Amino acid sequence: MEYKLKAIAQELNGELIGDGEVTIHSIASLSSAESGQITYVTEKNISKLTDCRASAIVVPEKLTDAHLPGIRVKNPRLAFVHVMNLFHQATRANGLISSAMVDCSLQAGESTQIDEGTVVKENVSIGEGTLISSNCFIGENVTIGDHCFIHPHVTILRDTWIGSNVIIHSGAVIGSDGFGYEWDGQQHVKIPHAGNVVIHDDVEIGANTTIDRGTIDPTIIERGTKIDNLVQIAHNVHIGKHCIIAGTTAIAGSASIGDHVVLAGGSAVVGHLTIGAHSTILGKSNITKDLPAHSIISGYYARPHHEQLRKQAAIERLPHTLKKFSTRIDSLEKSIKKLTKEE
Amino acid sequence: MEYKLKAIAQELNGELIGDGEVTIHSIASLSSAESGQITYVTEKNISKLTDCRASAIVVPEKLTDAHLPGIRVKNPRLAFVHVMNLFHQATRANGLISSAMVDCSLQAGESTQIDEGTVVKENVSIGEGTLISSNCFIGENVTIGDHCFIHPHVTILRDTWIGSNVIIHSGAVIGSDGFGYEWDGQQHVKIPHAGNVVIHDDVEIGANTTIDRGTIDPTIIERGTKIDNLVQIAHNVHIGKHCIIAGTTAIAGSASIGDHVVLAGGSAVVGHLTIGAHSTILGKSNITKDLPAHSIISGYYARPHHEQLRKQAAIERLPHTLKKFSTRIDSLEKSIKKLTKEE
Amino acid sequence: MEYKLKAIAQELNGELIGDGEVTIHSIASLSSAESGQITYVTEKNISKLTDCRASAIVVPEKLTDAHLPGIRVKNPRLAFVHVMNLFHQATRANGLISSAMVDCSLQAGESTQIDEGTVVKENVSIGEGTLISSNCFIGENVTIGDHCFIHPHVTILRDTWIGSNVIIHSGAVIGSDGFGYEWDGQQHVKIPHAGNVVIHDDVEIGANTTIDRGTIDPTIIERGTKIDNLVQIAHNVHIGKHCIIAGTTAIAGSASIGDHVVLAGGSAVVGHLTIGAHSTILGKSNITKDLPAHSIISGYYARPHHEQLRKQAAIERLPHTLKKFSTRIDSLEKSIKKLTKEE
């Protein structure tokens, strides 16, 4: 695939800078780009532009004097996503069912693709344009919508309901039993898990992430939420729309996360809590209390981030501060002693 | 499946309240239950009972005036587990071996079930009523007892020994090599792992959990212990009976955990430590020292929980406390100066 | 397999102690060894030697009076690795391709082995002596070098490049998409991931570990680095040579780790940071700033370990220290009051 720069500019609705006839054959990062390639620069790293050897560059509106042909846009990162999609066309479902291990009850679209080694159990429905890659497992009564991409080695257990445009990465497990027991005096008795998992449109789920089914009611991930690798989502969790949940985060049972919440990497949410919409939880925070909307929280004992910074600053100076206090009190005590004696 | 309420009451050995002829067709949670369904309430949330639209309810003994037909029992949560099992019969092995990738040396029971896509290597023994779901891997010389449920995509590597009534969830890896190397001056030399993994009766292991084989001696999980998702158990760990190990916990090599220990989510245990029986480790604690039996421990630098609370309270007030001290010392110094001058 | 002790001593270039004619049939740990077995002892646990029932023992040079036949060597742990390898010969590739799901475009060595249930897509190249175990997925354009061991259920996605002598444990996912989105005002737009993963010679990757592909440039693991279970390595991370990365560690996008770095269990590195060579990061540390070479770092808010110890000591005593200060200041204030009144 090759494009003239002017064609790319048109595609982006951007302002062409310099020679629009330059031919571009691939994308590259700012530091590795060579002749024939296009890259991008954000406001933050404009200074790195001087050494750029690309043939063309996507630049922010503020940049007025690029030494290269380019395209001026509002958000270069977002525009470059579109450029990447021009050169790297997404994998499309081919309408072939290559696996011999698909139950005859399957309801699939004309263009549904199921690859080698995948097992599909009874009463499954899979929509148009959806690609189930190799060695997956789709349990009974599972519904998957249109244009989903289920990567190799994904496990989707019985009764799971998945909307459209959902991406699930390799090794993810959807619908495992929740971790619930009741002690009967002699042993932990397993609580059966009869709920399912419901995943709405446009959700993406990372590699080796686990999402447990609900005990009675479902575990729910709302539309547009993106979940990274190795995340644990326990039974009956409810996650709102357009959340960002970064790698190795863990959300305990029945927690409820509002819309547009960001949980940075390694954070943890205790069971049955509610996190208000538009909250931001910084990396490795442990949330142990309900949070109102728009909270910004951090810390091992999570608190509002600005308080946390003040406490942490005090701790950083603590040995020094305590020593200074001690010296000053010592000296005061001596003075008092002296004054008392003198009397 | 449908039951009269009086039949369920009999099944639970509970005291029937109100109309025993009510027909129940399914279970539901307290908030979502509708006509024809049964749910339960614990002492803690009795106040939520007023809006309940279920046809019947399992209640604690203390509750004397339910407005619904119901069943009075000692532990409603435990009783409701039995109700759930009435309506959701557990998956049972069907005695079919559907996978073409099973070695002829397999010793299996009459009722053993092995599903499509599962690979079984040489000299494997699998007991009666055990169900190995799809796309699993069972390595050579593996023994699995009776009535186990091995979910799809489980990897059980060579020489693993598994008792009866064991449940292993999807993506779990049992018997991977431990993480051990010896530096020879030029590179990390891999220490071979000749030990195996031994998992006793009634153990449950969560999705994508990893349990490494021992270096020479085995890694051991004793009877009745329950392990959640994404847990890491390193080589030569020994876990006692009836422990609860919640999600994303990590236990380093050769650690020894006593019976009835609870490790809450995200906790970590350093290698070669001993944790005494009946200890409770709160969420995200990092255990770096041996613990006596019945310890209750928390914190990033884990300590007895009551000490931790005191320290954390001091830290929460720290900026304020230090400022107050500073003001008081300033004032004292001024007074002393004045007094000294006056003399 | 059986060896005379003198043959083992020769193999290790060690000094024979006592009867070299003793026959050894297997290895064992110090505490479990019985007659006919060989074990080892390090300087640290020489005291445990007295009860040893082994027929022979590998001992450090300092030990002059073993009561058992043995072999004296510089590093008993390292020497015992060689003894273990004598008794437990590594699995070797058998040159058979047992899977029916291998694309005809495969370029494989004479001795390459591919087991049942493994899927190999278009344009894959696999070297001599490499064993791909059961139920793996090898995506298109993947290259794997010689003498690698890919355990069951490994996912290696398109374009991944793997050198020689690489070991990948079960459930690992290599080449999943990085976690990158750009908000367009209405939704998170997925950033395509066109980079790949490059894994150099002698690397080992643990069970259920995930390594994301680069956005444009590759994610790179240099030679000799060892990675444990359940580790998350994000897009465009660069890890140097001979690093040790222990279980449940997470490294965020574009971080760069120097050669010979040790990241102990559960540590985390924020995106875009640089960690200098030969640094040691203690368990559960969160690295949020660039680190120079040879750093030794610990803590939730990671700092140099010796500072951390001082701060932590201050915190441990904090309630006591603050109370003592308070008492002393109270008393000073009283004295001052008295003195001032007296005047």
pLDDT in tens, A323-341: 999 999 999 999 888 888 8
* pLDDT at residue A340, as a whole number: 83
* pLDDT at residue A343, as a whole number: 63
* pLDDT at residue B24, as a whole number: 96
Residue A285 CA, distance from chain mean position? 16
The predicted model gives C57-63 an average pLDDT of 92
* pLDDT at residue B343, as a whole number: 63
* pLDDT at residue B100, as a whole number: 81
pLDDT at C90 over 90: no
- Position C88 confidence tier, pLDDT thresholds 50, 70, 90: confident
The predicted model gives C99-118 an average pLDDT of 92
- Position A89 confidence tier, pLDDT thresholds 50, 70, 90: confident
- Position C133 confidence tier, pLDDT thresholds 50, 70, 90: very high
> Would you call C210 an interface residue with chain B, using a CB distance cutoff of 8 Å?
no
Q: Tell me whether strands A181-183 and A188-190 are parallel, antiparallel or unpaired.
A: antiparallel
Give the nearest chain B residue to A343 (CA atoms): B343
pLDDT at B46 over 70: yes
Write out chain C residues lying below 8 Å of B101, CB-based: 116-117, 134
**C235 is an active site residue:** yes
* pLDDT at residue B49, as a whole number: 87
- Is residue B318 classed exposed, middle or buried when 0-12, 13-18 and 19+ CB atoms within 10 A define those classes? buried
- Average pLDDT taken over every residue of chain C: 94
- Position B64 confidence tier, pLDDT thresholds 50, 70, 90: confident
| Percentage of chain B exceeding pLDDT 70 | 100
Prediction pTM value: 0.93
H or E element that contains C167? strand C167-168
* pLDDT at residue B50, as a whole number: 86
- Whether residue C208 and residue B212 make contact (CB cut-off 8 A), yes or no, is no
Q: Could you report the predicted ipTM of this complex, rounded to two decimals? A: 0.93
| Percentage of chain B exceeding pLDDT 90 | 85
- Whether residue A314 and residue B322 make contact (CB cut-off 8 A), yes or no, is yes
The predicted model gives C165-192 an average pLDDT of 95
Q: Who wins on pLDDT, C93 or B300? A: B300
pLDDT at C343 over 70: no
pLDDT at A65 over 80: no
| Percentage of chain A exceeding pLDDT 70 | 100
- Position B88 confidence tier, pLDDT thresholds 50, 70, 90: confident
Reference B14, options B23, B2, B6, B22; nearest CA is B6
How near does any CA of chain B get to the CA of A10, in Å? 46
- Whether residue B101 and residue C117 make contact (CB cut-off 8 A), yes or no, is yes
> Would you call C104 an interface residue with chain A, using a CB distance cutoff of 8 Å?
no
Reference B194, options B211, B218, B173; nearest CA is B218
- Position C47 confidence tier, pLDDT thresholds 50, 70, 90: confident
pLDDT at C105 over 90: yes
The predicted model gives C303-329 an average pLDDT of 93
Give the nearest chain C residue to A166 (CA atoms): C190
**Which residues lie closer than 8 Å to B290 by C-beta, 6 or more apart?**
B273, B274, B275, B276
pLDDT at B316 over 70: yes
Q: Tell me whether strands A256-257 and A238-239 are parallel, antiparallel or unpaired.
A: parallel
**Which residues lie closer than 8 Å to B10 by C-beta, 6 or more apart?**
none
Strand partners of residue B39 = B57
Residue by residue, what is the 3-state secondary structure of A273-307?
CEECCCCEECCCCEECCCECCCCEEECCCCEEHHH
Highest-scoring range by mean pLDDT, A73-77, A190-194, A199-203, B78-82: A199-203
CA–CA gap between residue B154 and residue B168 (Å, rounded): 7
> Would you call B86 an interface residue with chain A, using a CB distance cutoff of 8 Å?
no
Reference A250, options C82, B331, B266; nearest CA is B266
